Structure formats: structure tokens, C-alpha cells
Amino acid sequence: MNKKIYVDQESRIVNPIIFDQNLCTGCNRCVEACQVDLFIPNPERKKPPIVLYPTECWYCGCCVMECPKPNAIKLNPPLMNQIYWKRKSEHKY
């Protein structure tokens, strides 16, 4: 029963986590901090984890908070959640 199994990466409905390939050291701290467990470690050592279940992301940003390398992980919320703001001084009422 404990035979090998293979997994498909979920189709990219969203892309919640973006790794900087140059900054990420593949330490997998984010893999261990994610409560949803949406990553798996990369089979290749020192490479960024694989976001296996992107649609399960809660967008809490804990992976970013726990990452020892600044800017190695970027949280990328879904486009439909973009918020509008405007500069107060540029609007005459």
C-alpha cells in the first residue's frame, strides 16, 4: 500500500506565492509554517518549494513572515481583491 504516488500541481487559477529564484535558499521554513500545507519541498535541493495547492491559500502571509530572506517570497493576492485608493490632495471638491 505504501507504493510511490505522484501528484499534479493544481491548475493555476491563482498564483498566491511567488518565489524569487535567486533569493530563495530552499530552506523550507515556509513549508513548515504554512498551516494550510499548500507547499511541498522541491525535489531539487536548495530550490524554492512547489506551491502544490495554490487555491487553498488563505493569504495570511505567514510564509513571508517566517522567511529568513527578505523579498524571497512575495504574497500575491487574487486580482479581484485589488483595492482602490486616491490621493486626497489631487481631488478638489
Partner 1 sequence: MEEKLVLRELEWAYPLRWDEIKEVSTDILILGGGIAGCWAAIAAARKGLKTTLVEKGATIRSGAGGSGCDHWESAATNPCSRVTPEELTMAMIKDHNGYNNGISHYIECREGYDRLLELEKMGGKIRDTGNEFVGAEFRDEKTQFLFSYDYENRFTLRVWGTTFKPALYKECKRLGVEIYDRVMATSLIMDVNKQPSKVLGATGVNGRTGRFFVFKSKATILCMARPTRIWLFSLGLPGISEFRPLQCMGDGHAMAWKAGVKFTMMEKSLRGQWSGDRSYPPYGTGNTHNTWYACSMVDADGKEIPWIDRDGNILKSVSQRYRPSPGQKFFLKGGGESEFPLYEYQGPDTLPVEKLLENGYKLPFYADLPSMPSHERNVIWNLMVAQEGKSRIPIFQRYEEAGFVPEKDLLQSYGKGWTSASFLPRERQLFGTPGGIINDWKLKTNLEGLYAAGDQLFASDCNGHAAATGYYAGRHAADYAIQTSQSILDNQQVEFERRRINSLTNKNEGLGWKEFNLAITRIMQNYCGEIKSRELLNIGLKLLENLETKEAPNLYARNPHELIRSLEVINILTNAKLIINSCLVRKASSKHLHFIRSDYPEMDPLEWHKFITVKLENNKVKVGKLPIDYYGSLKENYEIYNEEYTKKRIIS
Distance from the Cα of residue 34 to its chain's centroid:
10
Taking the least distance from each CB to partner 1, the nearer of 25 and 37 is: 37
Q: Smaller CB distance to partner 1: residue 27 or 52?
A: 52
DSSP, residue by residue, 53-78: -GGG-----HHHHH-SSTTSEEE---
- Contacting residues toward partner 1, per CB under 8 A: 1-9, 13-14, 16, 32-38, 40-41, 43, 50, 52-53, 55-62, 64-66, 75, 77-78, 81, 83-89, 91, 93
Q: How far is the CB of 72 from partner 1 (least distance, A)?
A: 13
